[in-house]
Chains A and B, each alone.
Chain A
């Protein structure tokens, strides 16, 4: 079974703090993704990566950065957290590019005060 884990289920941070969300997958997948999910807006892609040290902007990259130093780990960084970044953050991985199934981690619910 594919397993995608995220470092925290719940996080509470203050405005202006730097926030790190970690995602690890154990199936040697090439592709990894970060989404946020908000009521009424659905899943929105923040960043994705097809390989180590490679990153591509998704639909809403502003205010975020990512790091992929190892194949199994994809980190999402909020450089200076703001209240409008309060959301559910979901990491996903897939085995290759070209429409393969994405497998999701359990999600991190982030509250920025």
Chain B
């Protein structure tokens, strides 16, 4: 059974600080990794994708992938109240399927 694990939170972070969201996955053959943001009552929207080991930066967001440790993370710098949402980690396994984690609720404290 392929799994994607996230801490459900809530993770509370002061405004302006760095928010760190973590995700582990079970299958070593996983190829593609995604972070989605979901506001309450809305659908998930893609914010980052990462395919190779290391860091990938996009504005205030940095995705980090460590395939040896089966670990992917998302860092949000200079956190804003508008970053308050649930963040879903998604992992694409070899056999054409994406598994979503249950999400981490992030709360940015003004």
Contacts and interface: CB of A to CB of B under 8 A. Distances in A.
Partners in one complex: yes
Interface of A: 40-43, 45, 50, 90, 97-107
Contact of A42 (B45, B96, B98, B100): B100
Nearest to A35: B100
A43 B31 CA distance: 20
- 9 nearest A-B pairs in the assembled complex, by CB-CB distance: A99-B92, A99-B32, A42-B102, A104-B43, A97-B96, A43-B100, A107-B43, A99-B31, A104-B44
10 contacts: A43-B88, A50-B96, A97-B96, A98-B92, A99-B31, A100-B32, A102-B90, A102-B98, A105-B43, A107-B42
Could you tell me the dominant secondary structure of chain A's interface residues?
loop
Interface of B: 31-32, 34, 42-46, 49, 88, 90, 92-93, 96-98, 100-103
A69 B102 CA distance: 32
A89 to B, nearest CB: 10
Given A42-B102, A98-B96, A99-B32, 18 more contacts: A41-B102, A42-B88, A42-B101, A42-B103, A43-B88, A43-B100, A90-B43, A90-B44, A98-B31, A99-B93, A99-B98, A101-B46, A101-B49, A102-B98, A104-B43, A104-B44, A105-B43, A107-B43
Contacts, number: 41
B45 A104 contact: yes
- Centre residue among B34, B46, B98 by max chain A CB count within 10 A: B98
A13 to B, nearest CB: 20
Contacts of A90: 43-44
Contacts of A43: 44, 88, 100
